[in-house]
Structure 1
Amino acid sequence: MPVAPRTRIRLKSHAGLSGGDRIGYVAPPGHSAVVRTDFDHASGELVQVWSKTPPTDGTDWVVVWWPGNHWTWERESDLEFVDTDPNTT
């Protein structure tokens, strides 16, 4: 089932944990997200690897924006839908 952009979600595994539920927003189709973190031997630092392609095959992946400007790929089955923002502009 396609998820509408700007849908507010939370990870099912985090629901009810102390510190409040972590709420994120589904990104528009075609948005990239972090798929992994690698060590850059040239700089000696950790770097994030971004992709517009989900980390594994399947059509049940969506990009989610989390507070702190973090973008991740999440499976729809791992998400609990809170509501959809009616203002899509």
Structure 2
Amino acid sequence: MERDVIRREVKSKDDFICFLTALMSDLQAHPDSWKNTDLTSFLRAMSSWVEDMGSFYLDESGNQKDITWQVFADMLSIARVYE
């Protein structure tokens, strides 16, 4: 899937924008491949995944990689009203 390739390459703001565009395009083109097509179920699934992600973001030494959670929270919060 194109969005999975793009997701692995996100290293900058522009990469993230490309990823979001690919994600939106994928939803429009293949809604049947999405389990969470409405905002409520999408956010619920996101919350559940964050709770369950465990060691997904550990580095090769077994330490938690630095993740700027505030950035994700800001993006999701601002997306509620941004046009």
Which one scores higher on RCO, CA 8 angstroms, separation ≥ 6?
1
TM-score (norm 2): 0.24
TM-score (norm 1): 0.23
Q: Which has the higher strand share?
A: 1
Q: Which has the higher helix share?
A: 2
